[in-house]
């Protein structure tokens, strides 16, 4: 069984591994581009040699000048592209190291919060066991339970009356004449009709017996209101008794020394909040660098690399270059045969290198997509509050297997999110839910609602207190970025 913190750490570790694979692909891409630069240089040098052997001085000079201009531009673009990939890669790797350190510090701080929270919870359990044996607690609890039963019954009656009101009102509401007079407040101080209208309305009222009907209708709608007011007053009485009970519990906790442990917990929570903020800010910087790097590496979206390919293609399409090859093949000599053979070998290697570069860029894009999906799972995890100290995952084996499948490219991240939603559980505290409440130093998972509920990641706010529950599952739709299975 994994805790929420351990599960988050496993997800972040998987993301770091994917980033490591991306860095390795970036290095391979830089190497392949460097190979392309080198081959272009070798090709240009060989063409110069062949031109000087096969063409007259004027034609050779013109061809060499054209080659130099085109190849220089292409090589400049390729080198610039390689250097930009290297620069953003270095930034990315450096910031990834900073993120890893920040996350490690945050997880250490989260473990400290868990330890401090456990100490407070143990002390609360000991104090509860002692205070429940006292006469003051039993009396206060008996009074609270008594008014709670009364409040529950009052709420039940109010709800029943409110539910019945619609059916009982229907005959009145369906009468257009009565509904008109009631809506305008006829027979009450708010009625404002003029002399003629008053005369007509009085005739209508006499016709339908409005004066006899109105008190009945008024009482009908008034009863649920009065019952709800009574239920609210009874619930306020419960709150008063609960406050008295909480005061007894608090005195017992203070006598047991809870304040010192609460202070440790509060300090640990503030430390966690600071480190969590630092880690998330670094992650945001890393996300922006990722965007720059993805735009640089992505295939058709990269204008610089495409410009290089266009420039090279234009240089290779020169008629004089085609003539040079034809001339060399017509009059074979030892010198030009060797150069032509070398050029053909270079062309084969260049084709292989270009294919390798295209494949690497495709792999980088695919791997980046997998890593982005994993990062979205991580964000959903945190927004849902699944890293809360009282959350555990009883399907950790399945989660681990899915993480492994994602790293191998066999599983998509939507499967992981499904596993997380299915496997999370809230651990119970050692004490009853109402002992010392409200105002417990850290929000705890609860099954019920309340004014102090903190949904999802809000528990990380060190000032939050009281009840807590994980955010409800986010709805899935056809437009969801995740898929629920299948190969990548």
In a domain, 54, yes or no: no
Average pLDDT for 118-136: 90
Mean pLDDT over each residue of the chain, to the nearest integer:
81
In a domain, 171, yes or no: yes
Average pLDDT for 320-341: 67
pTM, 2 dp: 0.69
In a domain, 223, yes or no: yes
In a domain, 197, yes or no: yes
Average pLDDT for 11-33: 91
Range of the domain at 179: 131-255
Phi/psi of residue 467, nearest 5 degrees: -75, 160
pLDDT in tens, 306-322: 665 565 555 554 545 56
In a domain, 141, yes or no: yes
Average pLDDT for 181-200: 85
The set of residues, in sequence order, having a beta carbon less than 8 Å from that of 342 and lying 6+ positions away, is: 42, 46
The set of residues, in sequence order, having a beta carbon less than 8 Å from that of 368 and lying 6+ positions away, is: 22, 290, 294, 297
Percent of the chain with pLDDT over 90: 31
In a domain, 180, yes or no: yes
Residue from 221, 185, 219 nearest 201 by CA? 185
pLDDT in tens, 473-483: 455 444 444 44
Instruction: Between 316 and 430, name the one with better pLDDT.
Output: 430
In a domain, 248, yes or no: yes
Answer whether 25's CB lies under 8 Å from 332's CB: no
Domain count, the chain: 1
Instruction: Between 100 and 56, name the one with better pLDDT.
Output: 100
In a domain, 55, yes or no: no
Query: What pLDDT is attached to residue 71?
Result: 63
What is the rounded CA–CA span in Å between residue 405 and residue 402?
Answer: 5
């Amino acid at each position: 069984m994994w805790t929420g913190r351990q599960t988050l750490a496993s997800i972040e570790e998987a993301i770091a591994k994917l980033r490591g694979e991306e860095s390795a692909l970036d290095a391979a891409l830089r190497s392949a581009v460097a190979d392309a630069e080198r081959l272009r240089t070798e090709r240009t040098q060989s063409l110069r040699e062949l031109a000087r052997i096969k063409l007259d001085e004027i034609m050779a000079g013109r061809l060499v000048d054209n080659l130099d201009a085109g190849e220089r531009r292409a090589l400049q673009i390729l080198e610039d592209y390689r250097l930009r990939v290297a620069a953003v890669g270095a930034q990315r790797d450096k910031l990834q190291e900073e993120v890893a350190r920040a996350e490690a510090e945050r997880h250490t701080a989260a473990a400290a919060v868990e330890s401090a929270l456990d100490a407070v919870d143990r002390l609360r359990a000991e104090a509860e066991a002692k205070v429940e044996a006292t006469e003051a607690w039993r009396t206060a609890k008996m009074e609270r339970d008594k008014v709670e039963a009364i409040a529950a019954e009052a709420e039940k009656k109010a709800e029943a009356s409110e539910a019945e009101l619609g059916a009982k009102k229907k005959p009145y509401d369906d009468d257009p004449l009565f509904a008109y007079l009631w809506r305008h407040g006829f027979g009450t101080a708010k009625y404002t009709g003029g002399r003629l209208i008053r005369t007509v309305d009085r005739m209508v009222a006499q016709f339908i017996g409005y004066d006899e009907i109105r008190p009945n209708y008024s009482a009908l709608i008034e009863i649920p209101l009065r019952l709800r007011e009574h239920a609210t007053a009874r619930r306020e009485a419960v709150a008063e008794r609960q406050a008295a009970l909480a005061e007894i519990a608090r005195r017992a906790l203070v006598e047991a020394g809870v304040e010192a442990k609460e202070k440790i917990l509060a300090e640990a929570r503030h430390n966690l909040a600071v480190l969590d903020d630092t880690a998330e800010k670094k992650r945001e910087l890393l996300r922006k660098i990722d965007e720059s790097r993805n735009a640089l590496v992505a295939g058709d979206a990269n204008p610089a690399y495409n410009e290089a390919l266009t420039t090279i293609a234009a240089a290779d399409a020169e008629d004089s270059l085609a003539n040079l090859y034809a001339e060399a093949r017509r009059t074979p000599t030892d010198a030009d045969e060797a150069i032509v053979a070398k050029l053909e070998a270079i062309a084969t290697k260049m084709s292989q290198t270009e294919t390798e570069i295209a494949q690497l860029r495709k792999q980088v894009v695919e791997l980046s997509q997998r890593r982005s999906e994993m990062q979205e799972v991580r964000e959903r995890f945190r927004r849902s509050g699944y890293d809360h100290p009282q959350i555990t995952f009883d399907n950790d084996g399945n989660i681990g297997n899915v993480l492994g499948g994602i790293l191998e490219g066999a599983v998509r991240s939507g499967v992981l999110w499904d596993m997380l939603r299915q496997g999370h559980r809230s651990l119970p505290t050692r004490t009853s839910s109402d002992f010392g409440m409200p105002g417990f130093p850290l929000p705890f998972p609860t099954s019920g609602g309340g004014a102090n509920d903190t949904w999802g990641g809000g528990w990380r706010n060190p000032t939050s207190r009281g009840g807590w529950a994980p955010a409800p599952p986010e709805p899935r739709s056809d437009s969801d970025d995740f898929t629920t299975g299948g190969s990548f």
